[in-house]
Amino acid sequence: MGSLQSDALDNVAAGAAGAGNPVNPLDPEEFRRQGHMVIDFLADYYHDVHKYPVRSQVEPGYLRKRLPETAPNGAEPLEAILGDITHDIIPGITHWMSPSYFAYFPSSGSTAGFLGEMLSTGINVVGFNWMSSPAATELENIVMDWLAKMLKLPSCFHFSGGGGGVLQGTTCEGILCALVAARDRALDRLGRDQIPRLVVYGSDQTHCSLQKAAQIAGIHPDNFRVVPTTRADAFALNPSALRAAIDKDIARGLVPLFLCATVGTTSSTAIDPVAGLCKVAKDYDHIWVHVDAAYAGAACICPEFRHAIDGVEMADSFSFNAHKWFLTNLDCCCMWVREPGALVRALSTNAEYLRNKGTESKKVVDYKDWQVALSRRFRSMKLWLVLRSYGVANLRNFLRGHVKMAKDFEGLVSADPRFEVVVPRTFAMLCFRLLSPPGLEAEGRTERANELNRRLLEAVNASGRAYVTHAVVGGVYMIRFAVGATLTEERHVAEAWRVVKEHATDLLASCRSSDSACPLVDRA
């Protein structure tokens, strides 16, 4: 325990007991030494991450068996702690940074994103208003306008055009803030006792964060409207179906409040027709339209994908997650609003201890009034580093590279008659399934075919060589293959396909031999 850290913490403890003067626990030289150790640890982790099973293979409760029941009374050296991370924590990590990670949506990180996070954490400001750290607020203003220009968002979402952008933690937070603003705007018009009449709209493919936001915002559960989608529309929300749902609610005396349109749904990356949906909403007045492009919004900086958000100029708010597919470490949700005043009126608090000349000048943004929490992190630092370190051209090429790899994977799947592409590929995710062997697929056996793919997915994931997840659309269980991890290269996609084929071959062989392991075999 002879480290400076141990001595420092021992002295802190002694000082607290009145035995001496405490030593600063943020000693610059000790910080430098330990910081180098952590950077080296992470660099080795990135170098070797491909060697680990992508999905953690541990059982629930494994860690409690390995760690002590109480915290240590004395200080422990960082060397010992890093050793325990290697032996006890890493086995319980699902490696989102692995080049063979194809599950959910990516959580892409980068050197610039990490270093920006380090700078933000090290400077450690609590930038709830302009006065608390002017640079934190003003950099966020600037970076959000930069991004708005990259996405070709209309001027109404720029600060110069009366709108503006804010960095939330996640899309869940962003949707909640937009919904609360819409709710209060409506209740100011209708009366506070009218909240039971308000209705929120999404599709059966809309992310569950909308339902959670509605619950938190006090929307009656019976007024959360899920509009069905169909395979004929590629599971996008049909404007005619939305109109029918709205008309039905109005006939019942309800008030349409909020619509969430999605560009790149979680299940299948379906693209809701933003322009058509906004036109429907405008026919009824006062419906707030939020465009959730959490995954696919990043791709819209590429001219060839920008059409996916056509019509956003008619929306009230728009968001995408830079921490998904934009080389920015978690968390970082980019959100723009047409009418910032609606957010401020719904979310502001003005306690006496927060009063200051900057706020009273009306010339600054106080981001505490654009979010749920009071305190906030200096997120714009890491986004600024990402934009400056890579530049627009390299970011576009990064995204295009993943789209190409997904397209190549689509070609591999399509060339194998044992498999089917379930929905058209958009962006860098493919949804596919293993078909039942000829002679065993019959009417009424959809669930058994679904079970076949459940077992295929579990076999792939249990191998540790790749990690994929699933979705169910139109009653069909399908495997989602999302390319987007920072370290993924073409060889990792090819290897993942080999893993899928190997386990598919084994499953189908069990079916041909009427093995009891085959979910298609009738055991009645």
Give the position of tokens 């009645």.
524
pLDDT over 90, % of the chain: 86
Whether the pLDDT of residue 332 is over 90: the answer is yes
460 contacts: CB under 8 Å, gap ≥ 6:
466, 467, 468, 499, 500, 503
In this prediction, residue 21 carries a pLDDT of 53
The strands making up 476-482's β-sheet, listed across from edge to edge, are 419-421, 429-434, 476-482, 469-473
pLDDT score recorded for residue 513: 67
**What's the rounded Cα separation, in Å, for the pair 198 and 343?**
18
Compute the C-alpha angle 394/400/401, nearest 5°.
90
Cβ–Cβ < 8 Å for 131, 356:
yes
Separation of alpha carbons 503 and 182, rounded Å:
49
What's the rounded Cα separation, in Å, for the pair 462 and 466?
9
Rounded to 5 degrees, φ, ψ at 282 are -70, -25
CA distance 483 to 494: 12
Average pLDDT over every residue of 374-392: 96
Q: Is the pLDDT of residue 91 over 50?
A: yes
Let me know: does 383 contact 167? Beta carbons within 8 Å.
Answer: yes
Mean pLDDT of 136-161: 97
- Degrees (nearest 5) of the Cα angle 384, 387, 392? 160
Q: Report the Cα 407 to chain-centroid distance in Å.
A: 22
Whether the link from the prior residue into 369 is cis, omega within 30° of 0, is: no
Asked if pLDDT for residue 3 goes beyond 70, the answer is no
DSSP β-bridge partners for residue 320 = 334
For the chain, which domains are there? 125-390 (3.40.640.10), 394-512 (3.90.1150.10)
Span 273-330, pLDDT tens digits:
999 999 999 999 899 999 999 999 999 999 999 999 999 999 999 999 999 999 999 9
Is the pLDDT reported for residue 132 higher than 50? Answer: yes
Residue 518 pLDDT > 80, yes or no?
no
Contact 291, 317 (CB under 8 A): yes
* CB-based contacts of 229, cutoff 8 Å, min separation 6: 203, 204, 205, 235, 236, 237, 238, 241, 270
- Residue 77, pLDDT above cutoff 70: yes
Residues 6+ apart with CB under 8 A from 423: 231, 234, 235, 268, 270, 431, 473, 478
CA 166/CA 336 separation, integer angstroms: 6
Model confidence over 219-273: pLDDT tens digits? Answer: 999 999 999 999 999 999 999 999 999 999 999 999 999 999 999 999 999 999 9
DSSP type of residue 101 = B
Average pLDDT over residues 13-33: 68
Structure token digits, residue 198:
């308000």
pLDDT in tens, 44-72: 999 999 999 999 999 999 999 999 999 99
Q: What is the pLDDT of residue 437?
A: 82
- Above pLDDT 70, what percent of the chain? 92
Going by C-beta distance under 8 Å and a sequence separation of 6 or more, which residues neighbour residue 63?
88, 89, 92
| DSSP structure class, residue 443 | T
- What residues contact residue 35 under an 8 Å CB cut-off, 6+ apart? none
Q: What is the pLDDT of residue 2?
A: 42
